[in-house]
Amino acid sequence: MVARNDNLKPFSERSVDEARELGRKGGKASGEVRRKKADLKRAISIVLSSEVPSSKMAKTLKEMGYENTNEMAMVLSMTQKAIKGDVKAASWISNIIQPAKVEHEVEMSVGVDEKRKVAEEYIRGLFNNDTGNSTEENN
């Protein structure tokens, strides 16, 4: 796709009033997007805290003594997937428990074998982390 910059006019060539008006429009659009994002977060929170309808999952949650919420159902489902070997589910759980920390910065000049070793060491650290931190301590 070819960039079409022919009709763009830099701010340095615009009048103060024109730049101010464009800034005002951008600010309004930004505020609208921010409000929509906040509304979406509230909606997700409501759905996640809602009760799981009568189902096998609701029964399992009750038997295990957990809250019967969509949030707990999602966590249990992702945990079951991770146990079965789903790497994405395991990664999701790991990121929830302990957000990713960049402990090793690998320069682009480092060879592929060195990058692999660093990555393997990092992954081992994720799965061998026995610090006993609760999720409350990490929030």
* pLDDT given at position 133: 44
Mean pLDDT, to the nearest integer, of 28-44? 95
Q: Tell me, yes or no, whether 84 lies in a domain.
A: no
Between 103 and 71, the higher pLDDT residue: 71
Q: Cα dist. 62→45, 76, 78 in Å? A: 21, 12, 17
Helix (H, G, I), strand (E, B) or coil at 15: coil
Contacts of 101 (CB under 8 A, 6+ apart): none
Q: Tell me, yes or no, whether 108 lies in a domain.
A: yes
> What's the total number of domains in the chain?
1
- DSSP H or E run through 64: helix 56-64
Structural domain harbouring 124: 98-129+135-139
Percentage of the chain with pLDDT > 90?
Answer: 48
Res. 102 pLDDT band, cuts 50 70 90: low
Q: Tell me, yes or no, whether 82 lies in a domain.
A: no
Mean pLDDT, to the nearest integer, of 106-112? 53
Average pLDDT along the chain:
81
Q: What is the pTM of this model?
A: 0.51
Q: What backbone phi and psi angles, to 5 degrees, belong to 69?
A: -125, 160
Mean pLDDT, to the nearest integer, of 59-80? 93
Q: Tell me, yes or no, whether 112 lies in a domain.
A: yes
* pLDDT given at position 34: 94
Give the range among 14-23, 74-83, 84-93, 101-110 with minimum mean pLDDT.
Answer: 101-110
Contacts of 68 (CB under 8 A, 6+ apart): 51, 52, 58, 61, 62
Q: Tell me, yes or no, whether 1 lies in a domain.
A: no
